[in-house]
């Protein structure tokens, strides 16, 4: 099946030029996405979902960041959102972030335990203003190579998908 998909990509049945990224990054991301879906890694047990929700309700501090998200009620993790969030994470976030170690930006596996959902969402959709005005992000900016996070023009809906993905992978 993977060979069929790759051959379709070779025939450019998917317009890679519109993705604005080199083909190799798309292929790598697609292979990782395919393997995760095939292996069923994205599936969460009810106990994992409940554990993640309890952790998220105990995030210290109340910094909601700067941006459109000011009150985000968290429900159960939505597996459809997780899949979409993984795809977006691979295509846009993995350039600078890894899950468990510093790349250009901070590792993100534990971010949902360290920040409020509003803070995370505002950082995704409003990184320029957050870096300019939020004191915590100013500290992080210095810690992580003084390289600003680029505004990737991620929609509010896609940001919520990324948040559910990050919630699903938190240990």
Which architecture characterizes domain 45-169 according to CATH?
Orthogonal Bundle (1.10)
Q: How far apart are CA 159 and CA 75, in angstroms?
A: 16
3 state SS of 128: helix
pLDDT in the model for residue 10: 52
Q: What is the mean pLDDT of residues 109-115?
A: 94
CA distances from residue 65 to 18, 28, 71, 101 in whole angstroms, order as listed: 32, 33, 11, 23
Task: State in Å, rounded, how far the first CA of the chain is from the last one.
Answer: 31
Q: What is the mean pLDDT of residues 97-115?
A: 93
pLDDT for 169 beyond 60: yes
Q: Alpha-carbon dihedral of residues 104, 105, 110, 116, nearest 10 degrees?
A: -170
**Mean pLDDT score of the chain, rounded to an integer?**
78
To 10 degrees, what angle do helices 2-10 and 23-39 make?
160
Domain parsing of the chain, residue ranges: 1-41, 45-169
Q: How far apart are CA 112 and CA 58, in angstroms?
A: 10
């Amino acid at each position: 099946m993977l060979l069929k998909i790759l051959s379709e990509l070779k025939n450019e049945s998917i317009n890679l030029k519109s993705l604005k990224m080199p083909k190799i990054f798309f292929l790598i991301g697609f292979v990782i996405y395919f393997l995760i879906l095939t292996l069923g890694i994205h599936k969460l047990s009810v106990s994992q979902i409940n554990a993640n929700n309890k952790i998220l309700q105990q995030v210290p501090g109340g910094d909601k960041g700067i941006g459109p998200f000011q009150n985000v009620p968290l429900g159960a993790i939505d597996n459809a959102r997780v899949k979409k969030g993984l795809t977006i994470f691979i295509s846009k976030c993995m350039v600078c972030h890894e899950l468990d170690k510093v790349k250009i930006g901070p590792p993100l596996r534990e971010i949902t335990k360290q920040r409020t959902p509003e803070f995370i969402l505002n950082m995704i959709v409003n990184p320029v203003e957050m870096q300019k005005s939020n004191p915590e992000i100013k500290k992080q900016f210095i810690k992580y190579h003084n390289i600003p996070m680029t505004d990737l023009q991620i929609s509010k809906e896609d940001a919520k998908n990324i948040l559910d993905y990050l919630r699903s992978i938190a240990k």
